[in-house]
Structure 1
Amino acid sequence: MLVLFNEYFNFHLNIFYYVPYRAIFSLLSSFFINLYLGPHFIYHFKKLKKYQIIRENGPKTHRLKNETPTMGGIFIISSILFSTILYCNLSNIYIWYVIIILIGYGIIGLIDDYKKIKYKNSKGLTLKWKYFFLSIFAFIFISIMNANNQSIIPTQLMIPFYIKNSFEMNYLYIFLCYFVIVGTSNAVNITDGLDGLAIMPVVFLACAFALISLFSENINNSNFLHIHYVKNSEELAILCMAIIGSGLGFLWFNSYPAKVFMGDVGSLSLGGSLGTIAILLHQELLLIIMGGVFVFETISVIMQIMSFKIRRKRIFKMAPIHHHYEIKGILEPLIVVRFWIISLILLLIGLISLKVC
C-alpha cells in the first residue's frame, strides 16, 4: 500500500521502493503487532473459556494443557495481513494468491476449531469434510491462478541435486500443485502438537523462501543457482518476512509452557501459504527437503495407520512421532529443540542443493 501511495503522490521516498527496507519493516511490524495482540487475545479467550480441546487418547501430560486458549492463529493471520498489505506492492498478483490461501484456509481452520470448542470434542470437522473443503479450495485456486497467468503453472518440475535440473510433467503439474498446498497445510497441522514445535520450522522455511524469492527475481542469480527465474518475485520476500515476524511474535507466547496454541486456523493457513509460495517460486521438491520435519511427522502417521490396519500392530507408541518420543520419557522442550535443529539442518541441505545440481 505504501508503494502505491508513494507512486500516486510522487513522494519519491526510496524507503518505500527498496525491498530490503520494506522487508525489515514488515518483519518488525508483524512481530510487534503479535506482542501487542497476544496478551489481549489470551486474556479475552480465557475469559470466554475458548480452551484447547485435548484428545482423550493423547499423552497424559497434555491434560494439563486443557485450559490453554487456542485459535492463536487469528492474530498470526492478522499481523501477516497487516504487514503484507502495508509494505507490499499490491499490484503484484503473487501477493494476492498467497493472501487468498492464507484467508481461505484460515477460515476452514477457524470452523474446525470452533466446532471443537462448541462440542467439546477434539475431532472438529470430520476428516472427509476437512479434506473436501481444502481440496475444493485448492483446485479452484489453482484453476484461477492458471487462467490468469499460464507462466505461473509451468509444465517443468525443478529437481534439486539433479544435473538436468528439470522434469517435464505437462498437466500432471496441476495435481502436484494440489498435493503441495493441501499436503503442506495438513503436515503443519499434524506437527503442531507440542509447544513451539511447528512455528519455528515455519519460520525457517519462510527465511529460505525469502532468500529464494530475491534470487529468483534476478535472471543472472537464477541462472547461477539453477533456479527458476520468476519476474517480480521479490515482493514475496516481504510477505515471507511478515510470516517470520509473526511466527517469532507468536513463539513469544507459544514457547514452553505455552500460553496459547495456534489451532487449525493457524496451522492450516500457514501451511497452505508456504505451499503456495513454493509453487509460485517453482520449488515444490525443495519444500519437501527443507520442510522435512513436516514430512517425517506426516509419514509417521501414515505408517502407523497402515501398520495397524494390515498387521494389527503399531510401529510407534503413538503418532505423530513427537508423541512417540514423549511417551518414551523425553521432555517436551528437549523434543521441540531437537526438531528445530533437524529443521535447520534440512534447510541448509536444501539451500546447498540449489547450486549443487
Structure 2
Amino acid sequence: MIYELLAFALSLALTPYIAKLMKNAGIVGIDVHKVEKVEVPEMGGLALLISISLVSLLAKINGWILAVFLLMGLVGVIDDSVALKQSHKVLLSIMATFPIVAYINRDYIVIIKPIHVGVLAVLVLWMYVVASTNLVNMLAGFNGLEVGMSSVILFFIAILGEGSVRMLALIGLFASLGFLYWNKYPAKVFPGDTGTLSLGTLIGLLAILGKLEFPVAIMLIPHALDFVLKAKVRFKGKQIGRTRVLEDGTLVPPPYKSFLGLLMRIKPMKEWELVLASIAIEFFLGIVALLIQLA
C-alpha cells in the first residue's frame, strides 16, 4: 500500500498548490452550473500527471507506458491553453499514443474470449486507447464527474487486473481520490483536459495491457452513449444551448440530447445529485463487467 498512499498524499498536497498557481496565472474557468457563477482554477490535472508519473516511476512501471501517459497529458495542456478543435484533439491523441504499435505484441482482441484477428489486433488496440482517451474527455463539465467516474473504472480494473496492471490502476485510483477531495462539489479546482485526457489514456492503456478491453468497454457505455448523442449535433451542443440552472440549483437539460441530459430529463436534479447518479451508474456497470469477466 506504500505506493498507493504516496500517490494519494502527493495528489492531495499538489492539487491546491497547482490550483493556486493556475489562479494567479489567470487560468480559470467559470463554474457554470451554480446559481452564483464563480471562477475556479483550471488545469488541475497537472497534479494527477505529476503524482501518477512520479509514483509509477518509483514502482518501476514500464517506461513506455508512462511516456504515452505523459504525452497525452501534454496534449491536454495544449488543449487547456488554446482550446483545440475536437478533430485536432483526436489527431494529436492518435499521435501521442502511437508508441503502442511498437510495444503491444498481440494478434487477438478479447470480447469475452480471445478473437484472433492477426496484425489488425495492434491497430484495434491502438484505436481502443484513442477512443478511451476521447470518450472520458467528452463526458465532462460537472464537479467531480470525470474524476469520480474514472475512479470507479480504475477501482474495477484493479480488481480484475494482475501484477503491474493492478499496481498502476491502484496508483491512478488513489491519486484520483486525492484530487477528488478538491474537485468534488463545490469544486475548488477543475481537472481540465489535462486531467481528463490523461485519465482516459490511463484507462485505455490498462485495459489493453490487462486484456480487459471487454469489461472496460462495458464501463465506458455512458461515455460511448454520450458520444453518439453528441455526434448527432456534430459536437456543436454548446452553440445550440447549455444546461441552465434554476434559482434553487436544479439543472435544466440542454436543448440537445446527451447522456447527462437524459438523466436530467428522467428526474430533475441538482449538480451534486447528477454526479452521484452518474457515479452510481458507473459502479453498477462495473459490477456487471466484473460478473461477466468472472463467469
TM-score (norm 2): 0.86
Q: What is the CA-CA distance between 1:65 and the residue it aligns to?
A: 4.8
Q: Which stretch has the larger CA shift, 288-297 or 247-256?
A: 288-297
2-side partners of 1:65 and 1:78: how far apart? 30
Structure 2 counterpart of 1:276, from 186, 205, 212: 205
Structure 1 counterpart of 2:28, from 28, 51, 72: 51
Instruction: State the match for 1:83 in structure 2.
Output: 55
2-side partners of 1:270 and 1:34: how far apart? 14
Deviations 1:30-60 (A, max 9, x none): 1111221222222222222210267xxxxx6
CA contact (8 A) 2:109 2:125 kept: no
Larger Rg: 1 or 2?
1
Residue type at the aligned position of 2:80:
D
Structure 2 counterpart of 1:293, from 222, 239, 242: 222
Q: For 1:104-119, what aligned pairs fall within 5 Å after superposition?
A: 104-115=71-82
Could you say what secondary structure the match of 2:29 adopts?
coil
Structure 2 counterpart of 1:352, from 278, 282, 291: 291
CA contact (8 A) 2:90 2:134 kept: no
Q: Does 1:266 align with 2:195?
A: yes
Q: What is the CA-CA distance between 1:302 and the residue it aligns to?
A: 2.1
Q: Does 1:256 align with 2:185?
A: yes
Structure 1 counterpart of 2:39, from 39, 63, 67: 67
2-side partners of 1:355 and 1:34: how far apart? 32
Q: What is the CA-CA distance between 1:239 and the residue it aligns to?
A: 1.4
2-side partners of 1:297 and 1:198: how far apart? 13
Q: Does 1:153 align with 2:139?
A: no
1-side partners of 2:262 and 2:275: how far apart? 13
Q: Does 1:342 align with 2:281?
A: yes
Instruction: State the match for 1:129 in structure 2.
Output: 88
Q: What is the CA-CA distance between 1:143 and the residue it aligns to?
A: 2.4
Could you say what secondary structure the match of 1:68 adopts?
strand
2-side partners of 1:51 and 1:316: how far apart? 23
Aligned residues: 279
Q: 1:131 to 1:62 in 2, by over 3 A?
A: farther
Instruction: State the match for 1:238 in structure 2.
Output: 167
Structure 2 gaps, min length 5:
238-252
CA contact (8 A) 1:159 1:167 kept: yes
1-side partners of 2:68 and 2:37: how far apart? 30
TM-score (norm 1): 0.72
Q: For 1:17-28, what aligned pairs fall within 5 Å after superposition?
A: 24-28=1-5
Could you say what secondary structure the match of 1:282 adopts?
coil
Q: What is the CA-CA distance between 1:295 and the residue it aligns to?
A: 2.2
Structure 1 counterpart of 2:18, from 41, 45, 49: 41
Structure 1 gaps, min length 5:
1-23, 55-59, 116-123, 146-151, 215-233, 309-314
2-side partners of 1:182 and 1:65: how far apart? 33
Residue type at the aligned position of 1:285:
F
Q: What is the CA-CA distance between 1:181 and the residue it aligns to?
A: 1.0
* Larger strand proportion of the pair: 2
Residue type at the aligned position of 1:131:
V
CA contact (8 A) 2:7 2:52 kept: yes
Deviations 1:43-101 (A, max 9, x none): 222222210267xxxxx636855511010110011111121112x235xxxx3232112
Percent of matched pairs sharing the same residue:
24
Could you say what secondary structure the match of 1:157 adopts?
strand
